[in-house]
């Protein structure tokens, strides 16, 4: 009878518990400065991915009150289970068996191709997609807390599909969210690359690693060490190249992560299709939350058209022998200061390299 009472209590509390903000809880109870894995070393936050050892064994096998997991129960969502402890407490875990059969982890699953969605039409993506980033059983750990030195967007006339953050060779790299490793191998410009797919359909990329510590198909927690920072591939020095993608299309990670504070900007993110472009950068506090949620498809379409027009109006110049910034500015009817503002790191005193592309309009 006592076990039945515990089960009933679990089911009654499920609805309220599911709304608990695990990030807010962690911030209130733990000092997370330093190693981000500190969030998950405390008893208050149990392992929500791996089933407890001994679950399913009868109650008589345990000394009552020591908090050991004794059974698991299904709930309305087949992807989540309740774990009952022998001290009449409980917590939630993910049902990995159910997740493995979920379409998110089966469709477009390729362990050697960076973008398995390449042939999917862009129009198949909704104008607006609501994505839950964290909840009671899904957590977040910032891959790197600090200033981003190279942002998402066009760079030297080419799309730069992620953020570059300083990362000395050998520095541990941690997974941002719970998920499953889809790719873990060397890939051209990325060097040693890890791609993790998450339950909400997002994928996170970790590039230029000096070492890979996971393998394709492996389930990982937020905060798990997955590799070490480095400078492999097309890299000018040790750093971490971090990307966020939805159905193969990259968007600015700054839409969801504040790297300087090491926190998520919000627990639920409304992804506009117009964000899936190297010409759409995050603009601090540019979007009101209510507008973001209720913006009509017509408004989003108009935003996409505006971005397309701006892209069509852009002009680039390839540096050749004898070129100077003043000469280039005169040729295109602009100013040196305007050209510098359009090209990250370019200054009036910069020595121009032959073959480099710079934006002039």
DSSP result, 122-165 = GGGS-SEEEEE--BTTB-B--S--S--SB-SEEETTEEE-SEEE
Higher pLDDT, 330 or 67: 330
Looking at residue 314, its pLDDT comes to: 73
Residue 14 has pLDDT above 50, yes or no: no
| 277 confidence band (pLDDT: 50, 70, 90) | confident
pLDDT tens-digit series, residues 285-343: 554 544 555 556 666 667 666 666 666 677 888 888 888 888 888 888 889 888 888 87
In this prediction the pTM is 0.67
Q: How many CA atoms lie within 13 A of 86 on its CB side?
A: 18
Looking at residue 322, its pLDDT comes to: 85
- Among the listed residues 238, 283, 262, 85, the one whose alpha carbon sits nearest the alpha carbon of residue 176: 262
Lowest mean pLDDT among 19-33, 198-212, 243-257: 19-33
DSSP 62-107: S-TTS--EEEEEE-SSTTEEEEEETTS-EEEEE-HHHHHHSGGGTT
Q: Does domain 316-359 have CATH number 1.10.3720.10?
A: no
Please report, for residues 157, 170, 304, the alpha-carbon distance to residue 338 in angstroms, rounded to integers and kept in the order given. 16, 39, 25
Taking CB atoms within 8 Å and a gap of at least 24, the contacts of 68-76 are 71/3, 73/7, 73/10, 75/11, 75/14, 76/14
Please give the average per-residue pLDDT across 94-117, as a whole number: 92
Residue 203 has pLDDT above 90, yes or no: yes
Number of H helices, E strands in the chain: 7, 21
Looking at residue 197, its pLDDT comes to: 97
Please give the average per-residue pLDDT across 234-261, as a whole number: 93
pLDDT tens-digit series, residues 123-176: 889 888 999 999 888 899 998 888 888 888 887 777 888 999 988 899 999 999
Q: What superfamily in CATH does domain 105-304 come from?
A: Glucose Permease (Domain IIA) (2.70.70.10)
Q: Which two tokens stand for residue 264?
A: 């998520």
Looking at residue 6, its pLDDT comes to: 44
Task: Give domain limits for the chain.
Answer: 2-99, 105-304, 316-359
Please give the average per-residue pLDDT across 203-232, as a whole number: 95
Q: Which residue has the tokens 């004898």?
A: 322
Looking at residue 11, its pLDDT comes to: 43
Residue 236 has pLDDT above 80, yes or no: yes
Looking at residue 317, its pLDDT comes to: 86
Average pLDDT across the chain, whole number: 79
Higher pLDDT, 71 or 218: 218
Assign residue 248 a region (left: φ > 0; alpha: ψ between -120 and 50; beta: otherwise): left
The percent of residues above 70 in pLDDT, for the chain, comes to: 74
Q: Which residue has the tokens 């305007």?
A: 338
3-state secondary structure of 251: strand
Q: Which two tokens stand for residue 122?
A: 């862009």
Looking at residue 16, its pLDDT comes to: 40
Determine contact, residues 254/263, Cβ cutoff 8 Å: no
Lowest mean pLDDT among 52-66, 152-166, 263-277, 323-337: 52-66
């Amino acid at each position: 009878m006592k076990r039945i009472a515990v089960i009933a209590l679990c089911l009654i509390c499920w609805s309220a518990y599911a709304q608990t903000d695990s990030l807010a809880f962690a911030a209130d109870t733990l000092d997370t400065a330093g190693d981000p894995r500190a969030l998950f070393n405390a008893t208050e936050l149990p392992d929500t991915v791996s089933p407890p050892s001994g679950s399913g064994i009868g109650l008589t096998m345990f000394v009552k009150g020591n908090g050991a997991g004794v059974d698991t129960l299904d709930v309305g969502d087949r992807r989540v289970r309740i774990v009952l402890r022998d001290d009449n407490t409980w917590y939630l875990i993910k049902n990995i068996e159910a997740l493995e059969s979920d379409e998110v982890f089966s469709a477009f699953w390729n362990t050697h191709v960076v973008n398995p969605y390449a042939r999917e039409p862009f129009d198949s993506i909704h104008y607006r997609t609501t994505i839950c980033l964290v909840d009671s059983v899904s957590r977040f750990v910032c891959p790197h807390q600090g200033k981003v030195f190279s942002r998402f967007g066009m760079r030297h006339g080419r799309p730069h599909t992620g953020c570059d953050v300083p990362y000395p060779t050998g520095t541990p790299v941690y997974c941002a969210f719970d998920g499953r490793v889809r790719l873990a191998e060397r890939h051209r410009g990325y060097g040693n690359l890890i791609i993790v797919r998450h339950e909400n359909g997002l994928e996170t990329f970790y590039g230029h690693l000096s070492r890979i510590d996971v393998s394709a198909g492996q389930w990982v927690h937020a905060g798990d060490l997955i590799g070490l920072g480095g400078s492999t591939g097309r890299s000018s020095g040790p750093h971490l190249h971090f990307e966020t993608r939805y159905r193969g299309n990259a968007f600015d990670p700054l839409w969801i992560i504040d790297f300087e504070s090491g926190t998520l900007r919000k627990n639920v993110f409304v992804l506009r299709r117009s964000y899936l472009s190297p010409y759409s950068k995050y603009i601090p506090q540019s979007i009101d939350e209510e507008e973001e949620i209720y913006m009509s498809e017509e408004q989003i379409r108009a935003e996409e058209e505006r971005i397309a027009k701006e892209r069509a109006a852009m002009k680039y110049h390839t540096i050749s022998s004898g070129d100077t910034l003043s000469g280039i500015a005169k040729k295109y009817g602009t100013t040196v200061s305007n050209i510098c503002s359009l090209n990250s790191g370019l200054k009036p005193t910069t020595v121009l390299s032959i073959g480099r592309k710079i934006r002039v309009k």
